[in-house]
Copies of this chain bind each other. A is one copy, B any other.
Amino acid sequence: MDEHYAINPGTSALLTDLYQLTMLQAYFDKGMEDSAVFEFSSRKLPSTRGFLMAAGLEQVLDFLEHMRFTSEELEWLAQSGRFSRDFIDYLDRLRFAGDVHAMPEGTIFFPPEPIMRVTAPLPQAQLVETRLINLLHFQTLIASKAARAVLVARGKGLIDFGLRRAHGAEAGLLAARASYLAGFAGTATVLAGFLYGVPVYGTMAHSFVQAHDDEAEAFEHFANTQPDNVVLLIDTYDTEAAAEKVVALAPRLQQEGIHIKGVRLDSGDLADLARKVRRILDDGGLTDVRILASGNLDEEAVRNLVESNAPIDDFAIGTRLDTSVDVPYLDCAYKLHEYAGQARRKRSTGKATWPGRKQVFRQSGPDGHMGGDILALEDDPLQGEPLLQQVMRAGQRLHPSPPLSEVRQYAAAELARLPDHLRQLRVEPPYTVSIATTLHELADAVDRRTSVTSSL
């Protein structure tokens, strides 16, 4: 019943699709261990996104370094009867020993650009597909949505409150990380503070107020016990009445040296309530008490509140961020582009891919803004900043990972370089990604080759 606590789902090599293992058995039987090149890319932008922000590289590199089969897992695989004993022994020895090129976390990119390339013996590169997509897809999804809130918040504080309705524990933790990286001030998720060093914020729940017989008593009690972090939730019963209680309480707390830092609104018409509460607080001399708003917010709601000049200082965004509610997934894939020295591509309807080892060359526009990208082959002699950099060689990281705070600064610089209309969340005109002639030529050559061999 508890066996699922005995293994770490994050590094288990069983965190994969069955077809990876059946394909690996076939590669093993046939000795197909030549070098393969896979790239992870998003096929197209969702209609409501003008750009995406790369995230999740750090967790992918961790996974590639640590991924292995436990003896218990191997025994279970052997008993399934699907695999040969030789192959099970081979899995026992299997480690990722390939190369990885990637865009740094926080980089802005535009489909169909790849953000990661894996070069490794075919079975290794294939096996890691599922978890690699799982990690890159989700953090990129969240960073891309969080960045939108950052752009419209105009410097107001943003906090992630989404763990409870995130899709499982890892989603909550990685959403806290990805939104911080994209420019949020922090998260309510304590474990994300412990694991990733994300600053942690918190106030109180309605249940705290309800557990007391009197709302004012609840406020005073909380202030006494958390004197450095007095943020009071004032919408449990009647928001304006509660704001008056805060004003009445403040002088008594002041005598004890306790300063009320803020109040939180979690329901109702937030702009209207914020104005009323601001007036009550100001009239009571509490001009420096901040107002934090929460409750079903997303970047559109934040933009409307900011543009209406609602006197809200900080926004907590939860469910709609952590589930990326308007775009719950990206159309992305990890595809084979070269095997045994030959370029490959898939031609399935609507899902065709560009073959070969690719690079993205970013051009500089006016005022240092991004001026268009060129998707090309790695060796093409093009101008511009190459966005994919080697980060792992033969299974070893080339550099220690940068602190998350540094990634966050880089992400902020990336957002600052976006063309103005994309910063304003407009999606038209789309950012220009040109496809180099060399890529078109290679695709044609691959099609001619596979048509011929397929029809033999």
Given contacts A165-B137, A228-B82, contact A1 B202 (CB under 8 A): no
Q: Chain B contacts of A208 at CB under 8 A?
A: 23, 26
CB pair B138–A214 under 8 Å, yes or no, is no
The answer, among B27, B213, B400, for a CB contact under 8 Å with A1, is B400
User: Within residues 161 to 217 of chain A, which ones have a CB less than 8 A from any CB in chain B?
Assistant: 161, 163-175, 188-191, 193-196, 200-208, 210-211, 213-216
Instruction: Answer yes or no: A363 CB below 8 A from chain B CBs.
Output: no
Instruction: Answer yes or no: A117 CB below 8 A from chain B CBs.
Output: no
CB pair B225–A336 under 8 Å, yes or no, is no
Instruction: Answer yes or no: A101 CB below 8 A from chain B CBs.
Output: no
Instruction: Answer yes or no: A17 CB below 8 A from chain B CBs.
Output: yes
CB pair A200–B323 under 8 Å, yes or no, is no
Instruction: Answer yes or no: A134 CB below 8 A from chain B CBs.
Output: yes
The count of chain A contact residues (Cβ–Cβ below 8 Å) is 127
- Binary per-residue interface labels of chain A (89-109) against chain B in the complex, 1 for a CB within 8 Å, 0 otherwise: 000000000000000000000
CB pair A191–B12 under 8 Å, yes or no, is yes
- A181: shortest Cβ distance to chain B, in Å? 15
Instruction: Answer yes or no: A379 CB below 8 A from chain B CBs.
Output: no
- A333: shortest Cβ distance to chain B, in Å? 9
CB pair B328–A2 under 8 Å, yes or no, is no
Given contacts A21-B190, A169-B10, A195-B3, contact A134 B163 (CB under 8 A): yes
- A321: shortest Cβ distance to chain B, in Å? 11
Number of copies of chain A assembled together: 2
Q: How far is the CA of A412 from the CA of B210 in the complex (A)?
A: 40
Given contacts A9-B173, A194-B14, A206-B348, contact A22 B226 (CB under 8 A): yes
Chain A to chain B contacts (Cβ below 8 Å), 30 pairs: A1-B400, A4-B62, A4-B196, A5-B10, A15-B173, A15-B190, A17-B202, A18-B189, A18-B202, A22-B226, A22-B229, A23-B207, A130-B164, A137-B164, A138-B166, A138-B167, A167-B175, A170-B171, A206-B348, A207-B336, A211-B344, A213-B453, A237-B348, A237-B450, A238-B347, A241-B454, A241-B455, A266-B348, A268-B348, A323-B323
Query: Which A residues fall within an 8 A CB radius of B?
Result: 1-5, 7-12, 14-23, 25-27, 29-30, 32, 36, 38, 62, 66, 73, 76, 80-82, 122, 126, 129-131, 133-135, 137-138, 141, 161, 163-175, 188-191, 193-196, 200-208, 210-211, 213-216, 221-222, 224-226, 228-229, 235-238, 241, 266-268, 319-320, 323-325, 328-330, 332, 335-336, 339, 344-351, 400-401, 450-451, 453-456
